[in-house]
Amino acid sequence: MPAERHSTQLPGGTITRRQLLQLGVPFLGLGLVDVLRARASAASTSRRRGLIVFWTHGGMSQQDTYDLKPDAPPQFRGMYRPIATTASGITITERFPRQARVMDRLSIVRSVHHGNAIHAPSAHWMQTGYFGPTLARNAPQKPSFGSVIARAAGARVADMPAYVTMPKSEAFGYQGAVYLGAAYQPFEVGADPNATDFRVSNLTLPRGLSIEAVRTRSAMLKQFDTLRRDIDTSGVLEGLDTFKAQALEMVTGERVREAFDINQEDPRLRDRYGRHLYGQAALLARRLIEAGSTCVTINTGYWDHHDNIEKGLEQQLPPLDTAIGALVEDLDLRGMLNDVLIYCAGEFGRTPLINGHAGRDHWSNCFSVLLGGGGLKGGQIVGASEPRGGDVQDRPVTPQDVLATIYRVLDIPLDLHLRDASGRPVSIVGAGKPIHELF
């Protein structure tokens, strides 16, 4: 394939052989061309944007957070009062005071829906934009948006992992690459950045193996790795060489390890983010985006509050609020807010009516997601739910619309199709359209 052997001039700049290899080139034909075009497009903007995701697996209650119904009967209303924000006319839960301070820079979409109320298919909906698995057969079928971003946009700075999940990927496996291949799987941090002994297992050498020993081995490898490279034209061999060099750099070099070294942050800033998983993960996410990652997903635990929802929310809402609020302020201070998109969502919301166990159940007919930064308009409300929250009243938004919005912010062409295992080109957004009110 000549495209692999030489650099290819594209409108957006030169694609190097190495970048091509990072794409992986399993299928010839349109898929590759499309991906190249996507990369060129993503590279053509002067500042490629990054994405930080707060994933509320299990389903966060919209009615207790971003879409309160203070005038509804008590069994719908919930326990929290609304508070005013810096965005005129927008109120959110009283448990979100930090976000209230920066609401002029964030927007809420209150009319997302997909109609499925089971965790697995719903998580697949929101992570991939497609319906797919069922409860009984829950293997992932489509790549996550993070993997699509890794494939289409790559890392913003070479040697950094393009797509990172922390502390780990969500357990259903819908944050993976599926048919895009192992190269686009998320890089799992694998540890809680709030822990005092926080270390990234993938970058941490096994006990007894020193960095010095790795350097010695690496020097040995250079001497003995003499197989002729021209025997393989498939790209696998050169790809592995590239990744070996990158991995050695990550393990023995300073830059990547420094990006992951959250201890380098001012303790006062760490305090502002909050000394908990959510806060420190948000801060680490900012460090990684700064160093060159493109998509960082923070998994914020389990929000499946069927029983005693108040107890669960009291534990989870304040740290989430601190993390998001501090992140917005920090990005803004650093002049990065237009370059980093913030997205908070789960697979669905929760039933408007409080059940007999003082909890709320699964609800996907209408729920809210949060978007902000990345050059999007702040202080906006898109769509509306019915007075008691049940269904979309105005401006329905699909999971594919949300993903189209994210891809548009990251300059990934919305007509990009990636080939599945059968060779069929699959659209990254289906019928989705960016939420134009936010641009």
Partner 1 sequence: MDLGGRGSVRASFDPAANLRAAGSPRAGATPITRDVPMTRRLVIGTRLARTEPRPPTVVVATIRLLVLTGVVSLIIGCRLVPAASAPPVAFGTDVRPLLTKLGCNSGGCHGKAGGQNGFHLSLLGYEPEDDYEAIVREARGRRLFLAVPERSLLLLKATGTLPHGGGRILAGDSDDYQVLRRWIAQGAPPPRASDPVVQRIAVEPGNALLSPKTHQPLRVSAFLSDGSQRDVTRLALYESNEPSVAEVSATGVIETQARGGLFAVMVRYGDQFAVVHGTVPFHAERSAVATQPPRTWVDGMLRPQWQRLGIEPSPPADDATFLRRASLDICGTLPTSDEVRAYLSDRRPDKRARLIDRLLERPEYASYFALKWADILRNRGAGYSTSQQRAGTSLFAAWIRDAIDANMPYDQFATEILTAVGTQESNPPTVWYRAVRTSQDYVESISQTFLGVRVQCAQCHHHPAERWSQDDYFGLAAVFARVGRKGGFADAEVPTSQTIFLADEGRVEHPRTKRVMRPQPLGGAPFALSRYDDPRQSLAHWMTDPSNPFFARTMANRIWGHFFGRGLIHPIDDARSTNPPTHPELLDALARDFAASGYDVKHLIRVCCNSDAYALSAVPNESNREDHQSFARYYPKRLSAEVLLDAFSQVLDAPTDFSGGPGKFPRGTRAIDLPDEAVPNTFLDVFGRPARSSSCECERVSESSLGQALALIGSPLLEQKLNAADGYVARLSADARPVTELIDELFVRVLARPPRSDEVAKARKFIESAPDRRASYQSLLWSLMVSAEFLFNH
Binding residues for partner 1, rule: CB under 8 A, are 1-3, 21, 24, 26, 28-29, 33, 136-139, 161, 181-183, 185, 187, 202-206, 208-209, 213-214, 216-217, 220-221, 223-234, 236-237, 239-244, 246-248, 250-251, 415, 417, 421-425, 427, 430-431
Q: Measuring CA to CA, how many Å separate 131 from each of 116, 128, 345?
A: 9, 8, 17
**Residue 187 or 303 having the CB closest to partner 1:** 187
299 conformational bin, left if phi > 0, alpha if psi -120 to 50, beta if neither: beta
Expressed in angstroms, the distance from the first to the final Cα of the chain is 40
Residue 376 per-residue DSSP state: P
CA–CA separation, 309 and 303 (whole Å): 9
Min. distance of Cβ 377 from partner 1 in angstroms?
Answer: 23
Checking DSSP bridges between strand 163-166 and strand 187-188, what pairing results, if any?
A: parallel
At closest approach, how far in Å is the CB of 209 from partner 1?
6
Q: How far is the CB of 149 from partner 1 (least distance, A)?
A: 16
Query: Closest approach of Cβ 101 to partner 1, in Å?
Result: 39
Residue holding tokens 């996410």? Answer: 285
Which residues lie closer than 8 Å to 275 by C-beta, 6 or more apart?
194
Nearer to partner 1, 91 or 400 (CB): 400
Nearer to partner 1, 145 or 187 (CB): 187
Of the two residues 3 and 83, which places its CB atom closer to partner 1 in the complex? 3
| Cβ atoms of 379 and 87 closer than 8 Å | yes
Q: Based on CB atoms, which residue is closest to partner 1, 137 or 268?
A: 137
CB of 159 to partner 1, least distance (A): 9
Q: How far is the CB of 27 from partner 1 (least distance, A)?
A: 8
What is the rounded CA–CA span in Å between residue 425 and residue 30? 9
By C-alpha distance, which of 82, 56, 50 is closest to 320? 56
* Amino acid at position 404, single letter: A
User: Omega before 434 cis (within 30°)?
Assistant: no
CB closer to partner 1 out of 349 and 434: 434
CB nearer to partner 1: pick between 181 and 318: 181
Q: Residue 224's Cα: distance from chain center in Å?
A: 40
DSSP secondary structure code for residue 16 in this structure: P
Shortest CB 77 distance to partner 1, Å: 37
Rounded to the nearest whole angstrom, what is the least distance from the CB of residue 87 to partner 1 in the complex? 31
- Residue (85 or 242) nearer to partner 1, CB: 242
Report in angstroms how near the CB of residue 33 gets to partner 1 at its nearest. Answer: 7
Q: What is the C-alpha separation between 89 and 430, in angstroms, rounded?
A: 33
Backbone angles phi, psi at 438, to 5 degrees: -95, -5
How many residues are there in the chain? 439
As measured in angstroms, the least distance from the Cβ of 43 to partner 1 is: 20
Cα→Cα distances 330→51, 162, 269, 283, 297, Å: 15, 22, 9, 9, 18
Q: Which is nearer to partner 1, 71 or 197 (CB)?
A: 197
Half-sphere exposure of 435 (CA within 13 A, CB side): 29
Containing 214, the helix (H) or strand (E) segment is: helix 211-224
- Report the residue number, 11 or 136, with the smaller CB distance to partner 1: 136
Find the radius of gyration of the CA atoms of the chain.
Answer: 22
